[in-house]
Structure 1
Amino acid sequence: MKKMSQLKLSFLILISFPLLFNSCKTTNDTSTMNVEKPDLNKRVSVLHTNDIHGSYMPFQTTLDNATAQTGDSIDNPMRFKKLGEIGGIAWMATAVKSIRQQKGTENVILLDGGDTFSDDQLGNITKGEAMIRMMNELDYDLMVLGNHDFDYSLKRTRELEKMANFPMRAANIIDQETGNPIFRDPYKLFKRDGLNIGVLPVGYRNTPLTGNPKNIQGLKFTSGLEAIEKYLPELKTKADIIILLSHEGMAVDKIIAEKINGIDIIIGAHSHDVIEPPIKINQTYLVQALSDAAVLGETELLITNKKLTGINTQYHYLWHDKYTADQNLEQLIQQLREPHVVRLEENISRTDTVIGRQYKSESPFDKVVTNIMKEEYNTDVAFLPGVGYGISLKEDITSENIYKLLPHPAKIVTLQMTGSQIRKTLEQTATNLKPENKIEVVGGLIQSSGIHYHIDLSKPIGDRVSGIKIKNQPIVDSEIYNVSTHSGMLSGIHNYVEFAKGTNIHKTKVVLTEFILEEFREMTKIEYPENMGEVTVVK
């Protein structure tokens, strides 16, 4: 009996213990109702695009270089794995809406890395408004200003910012009148699933070297590093997670990650890279999603107790056999194109091959253009800057195809330069490809016709160029050569200062784009240039 009583007592204690425990838990919950609970295992998806360059329409891939920087990047070469139709804002909208529906709008942020609304014929006609209206439909949250986002002048950029339903920002682009970052706020805070996510946008430090200086009068461009060091301590007091939205390029983003602690993610742009898998430097992840609206980047933040513990990345390649076009965007695009469709779709010429643009090496398209310039203006050599936008020409060539490659209203210039000045220009292009300090990276390989030379980037700066020949003769420093180029080069774009020092400078009124359109109209077919190989580059 005594043993049975003890068993009953033990049983009563055991069944009472959970009740006591639950009673205590309820009390604790009640007493801490106003205390914020820890955020365990939360996920926020950051969708990101970059360097759209006005490419709202789909395009055909090639296995070489369908976009300007896919095939010959020095740091991160990339090629499409198959032939097919890819990209387009209407297809991107489908991907964005699908992810928002799957993850919940409250768990998604959509960012753009800049160089967004110009470099396209419809962009030129509407001065950027077309792309802004499309981005409004996608409901972007923030865009950083890239160097080409001032192509229609600072005044027009201000007007576009007012049209946009999302902020455009850059902490390192200073309004000289106010002394503050352009468009006020240096950073933006987003509330997602109870978390404060801070996004610090920085533009391209070398913007004054990439376009018409008149377009950015009134602005000062400082380094991204300087702006980050200034605003990051303040942002840390307000944000649980910190994202740097950078238009500085992958090489500089790596430097930022090495030098600065406290940035969780760098979402990159400018260098048109697919960073897959993501790079991790110290505690900072680097991601980037190609260019030309071909890829939608998705970086899922894995967060425990308001700290980033990891990421999942997915690059949504917008292949048309996988995605369909969003009807609302498709209708908007048709509406925007309709008044101009005859101009946009004018059939200029055709090609039976693929004529692409390369950025860090000799470019087939630019070789075609410089060949025509050299011949029509009867010069010894022709030069164009190496630029990183545009897609490959294939089959039928329309007016808007040409504007994707030559979008700016630069005018043809002829002049005379000494052999010494040409030599210095070529040394400058070698420095641009591989400067001593990567912060100074600007532009690609200068494009040319009529001049042979070799670059060896493993050699010291100033001694990288050899074997220079014009008219199959070694260049003579004191000899005078006739040169054709355009007004951007004359203004010192990409640090090419020797053109302005030339003599007998003749500034024509001929816009290069219109000149090439007319030349192509007269050509039944555009052939792949036979004089490829005039320039060789050893890395």
Structure 2
Amino acid sequence: MKLVFLHTSDTHGFMLPTDYQDKGDYSAPISLSRVSTVIKAKRKEWGNERVIVTDAGDCLQGSPLASYCHAGQDFSRLDSFTACYNEIGYDGRCLGNHDFNFGLDYLKHYIAGNKADFVNDNILDESTEKPAFGQEFKIVEREGVKVGLLGITTQYVPHWEPQEHIKGLKFVSAFDQIKKLAPKLKKQVDLLAVMYHGGFESDLETGEPTEPHTGENEGYKILKEIPEVDIFLTGHQHRRLNTIVDNKPIVQPGYRGECVAEIVMDLDKDGNQVKVKDIKTALIDTADYEPDQAIIDHIKEVDEGTQKWLDQPIANLSEPAPINNAFEGRIKGAPFINLLQQMQIYFTGADISATAVMSEKARGFTSKTVTLRQVILNYPYANQLCKVKLTGKDLKEILEHTATFLEKDAEGNLHFIDRYIKPKPQLYHFDVFYPLHYEVDVSKPHGHRVVKLELNGKPIEDDKIYHLAVNNYRAMGGGFYPAYSMDKIEMMLDKDYVQMFTEYLSSGTVKVDTKPNYKFY
């Protein structure tokens, strides 16, 4: 018999084929509506009795439509949003780290509205140490074959979320939980599948580390050290991944519904024994499928509201603050980056500000009139702003870390190293600083690349205390930066970036600083 897994992850609330850059353009090669068409077609091709459909989280946050749903005064928009995921007919789901971005009340309402079962093994109730959401496992039977589903989420969520978003929860190692549960569940089933919102810390072929082994991603360790796991259904790193390692299919379906991962297993069942004869994996590009009208109908009213909401003018600038090119902005600066830094200092009173260019499509504010659409497209993450206490030595270490992102080619041209481009673009980890004046010579050895570092015309002093404005993701350790730690956070604002931009740009005439203050060479 054939057993087919169809797997999604990291759809991030992109229900319709638009990224909301251009109003009226619904031709993008993404979206849950295209995903739905793929899954319905595949169910028809293989038969419902052979198909298992799963999802590995990060659904609640990421798109302007998702932000609009959260901005509602009640949960009615969220209910329409949830109806879209219900249309898919998932057999099992797990949570992603971004599903906590809007707090526990919002998340609990979303889970309660889902028809699919959430499987959760490592997000525990702090007092009982039992799963805080969903169920510990699920057994799905297809033509006499029993498949066990386990669900895990990166344990790193507390490093990124404010405490009120995870109050009463305990996040434990995904590896430890699967190590404990897999042998027990495997006795009850023919095949064991793990849904994991987490990635791979080492190269799947060579085993070489691809990042610091912090515990954020434990996929390689699970794959190699827990033999009971037969099928690995992953997310989090936004990778397009379909491969077979040690006779185990491993998939990850990209980002925003760009594809559906498919695993087709050819099985022989003889009495109580199931033998795997053949495995094939594939990624099905959703661009080749039309949007599902059922999804469109569920979300039409919310989408129309989103478009109107995005076009609200929130303020006027003295002059435009663009980013003409994301790469150039990162290396040489841009007016929008300065404006964002000015705003962070305004709200925190910090000496220095740090931020990243959050999107390759970021264009800054290209006109004097600023709309919500421009704010969200330039800063799509639901971060909060912190003030952090650091020494001058800490600052130098952090700046030296930014230099590790870059290298020069044979012609002497700067470019970002592959690790931050593949398999998942991670240039949102590359921070720049304001109003520091600094220069970085990438050709020098590590630890000596920052050749100039001044604040207000004076060199940064190693032992002096400085106050830095930076988002909570970075302040809590996101991006593997040295020197940041939670005990250094002095304050955290209970405002998101849309709120801050609205307040700051409406506070009076804002003069955009257009002068560059750093350079890499």
TM-score > 0.5 by shorter chain? yes
Instruction: Give the drift of 1:330.
Output: 0.8
Are 2:295 and 1:300 aligned? no
Aligned partner letter, 1:160 = Y
Which of 232, 248, 268 is 1:284 aligned to? 248
Structure-2 separation of matches of 1:401 and 1:196: 49
Which of 377, 382, 393 is 1:408 aligned to? 382
Structure-2 separation of matches of 1:423 and 1:173: 36
Report the 3-state secondary structure (helix = DSSP H, G, I; strand = E; otherwise coil) of the residue aligned with 2:240: coil
What's the counterpart of residue 383 of structure 1?
Answer: 354
- The 3 A distance-change label for structure 1 pair 501 and 253 is closer
Report the 3-state secondary structure (helix = DSSP H, G, I; strand = E; otherwise coil) of the residue aligned with 1:307: strand
Instruction: Give the drift of 1:96.
Output: 1.5
Q: Is the contact between residue 403 and residue 440 of structure 2 (CA under 8 Å) also seen in structure 1?
A: no
- The 3 A distance-change label for structure 1 pair 56 and 534 is farther
Q: Is the contact between residue 386 and residue 443 of structure 1 (CA under 8 Å) also seen in structure 2?
A: yes
- The 3 A distance-change label for structure 1 pair 97 and 223 is same
Structure-1 separation of matches of 2:227 and 2:81: 35
Are 2:68 and 1:122 aligned? yes
Instruction: Give the drift of 1:97.
Output: 1.2
| TM alignment of 1:419-498, pairs within 5 A | 419-426=392-399, 445=429, 447-450=431-434, 452=438, 466-467=450-451, 469-470=453-454, 475-481=460-466, 483-486=468-471, 497=484
Q: Is the contact between residue 234 and residue 251 of structure 2 (CA under 8 Å) also seen in structure 1?
A: yes
Report the RMSD for the aligned CA atoms in angstroms.
4.6
Task: Show structure 2 runs of 5+ residues with no match.
Answer: 22-26, 202-217, 406-416, 420-425
- The 3 A distance-change label for structure 1 pair 375 and 263 is closer
Which of 14, 26, 47 is 2:6 aligned to? 47
Aligned partner letter, 1:403 = I
Instruction: Give the drift of 1:375.
Output: 7.8
What's the counterpart of residue 329 of structure 1?
Answer: 295
What's the counterpart of residue 500 of structure 2?
Answer: 515
TM-score, reference length from structure 1: 0.70
From the CA coordinates, give the structure whose radius of gyration is larger. Answer: 1
Aligned partner letter, 2:219 = D
Structure 1 residues 410-435: Cα deviation after superposition (integer angstroms, max 9, x where no partner): 24x55664312323545788999999
**Percent same amino acid at aligned positions?**
20
| TM alignment of 1:119-518, pairs within 5 A | 119=62, 120-126=66-72, 128-183=78-133, 185-251=135-201, 252-275=218-241, 278-305=242-269, 306-319=274-287, 322-346=288-312, 367=337, 370-373=340-343, 381-384=352-355, 392-393=361-362, 399-400=372-373, 402-403=375-376, 405-408=379-382, 410-411=384-385, 413=386, 417-426=390-399, 445=429, 447-450=431-434, 452=438, 466-467=450-451, 469-470=453-454, 475-481=460-466, 483-486=468-471, 497=484, 501=488, 511-516=496-501
Q: Is the contact between residue 263 and residue 282 of structure 2 (CA under 8 Å) also seen in structure 1?
A: yes
Q: Is the contact between residue 250 and residue 273 of structure 1 (CA under 8 Å) also seen in structure 2?
A: no
Structure-2 separation of matches of 1:250 and 1:117: 23
Task: Show structure 1 runs of 5+ residues with no match.
Answer: 1-41, 63-83, 436-441
Which of 46, 54, 58 is 1:111 aligned to? 54
Report the 3-state secondary structure (helix = DSSP H, G, I; strand = E; otherwise coil) of the residue aligned with 1:182: coil
Aligned partner letter, 1:513 = V
Structure 1 residues 161-181: Cα deviation after superposition (integer angstroms, max 9, x where no partner): 111001122211112233212
Structure-1 separation of matches of 2:427 and 2:151: 22
Deviates more, 1:96-105 or 1:474-483: 474-483
Q: Is the contact between residue 366 and residue 447 of structure 1 (CA under 8 Å) also seen in structure 2?
A: no
Instruction: Give the drift of 1:112.
Output: 0.9
Structure-2 separation of matches of 1:196 and 1:226: 24
Structure 1 residues 169-200: Cα deviation after superposition (integer angstroms, max 9, x where no partner): 22111122332123352221111122111111
Instruction: Give the drift of 1:481.
Output: 4.2
Instruction: Give the drift of 1:141.
Output: 1.7
Instruction: Give the drift of 1:228.
Output: 0.8
Structure-2 separation of matches of 1:455 and 1:198: 53
Deviates more, 1:241-250 or 1:394-403: 394-403
Aligned partner letter, 1:91 = R
| TM alignment of 1:36-75, pairs within 5 A | 42-59=1-18
Q: Is the contact between residue 298 and residue 315 of structure 1 (CA under 8 Å) also seen in structure 2?
A: yes
Structure-2 separation of matches of 1:465 and 1:369: 26
Which of 29, 42, 55 is 1:99 aligned to? 42
Structure-1 separation of matches of 2:224 and 2:515: 45
- The 3 A distance-change label for structure 1 pair 443 and 357 is closer
- The 3 A distance-change label for structure 1 pair 314 and 192 is same
TM-score, reference length from structure 2: 0.72
- The 3 A distance-change label for structure 1 pair 324 and 227 is same
Structure-1 separation of matches of 2:140 and 2:54: 12
- The 3 A distance-change label for structure 1 pair 351 and 492 is closer
Report the 3-state secondary structure (helix = DSSP H, G, I; strand = E; otherwise coil) of the residue aligned with 1:181: coil
Structure-2 separation of matches of 1:363 and 1:112: 39
Structure-2 separation of matches of 1:208 and 1:362: 33
What's the counterpart of residue 73 of structure 1?
Answer: none
Report the 3-state secondary structure (helix = DSSP H, G, I; strand = E; otherwise coil) of the residue aligned with 2:193: strand
- The 3 A distance-change label for structure 1 pair 215 and 493 is farther
Structure-2 separation of matches of 1:365 and 1:264: 51
- The 3 A distance-change label for structure 1 pair 180 and 44 is same
Q: Is the contact between residue 409 and residue 513 of structure 1 (CA under 8 Å) also seen in structure 2?
A: no
Instruction: Give the drift of 1:333.
Output: 1.3
Structure-2 separation of matches of 1:356 and 1:133: 36
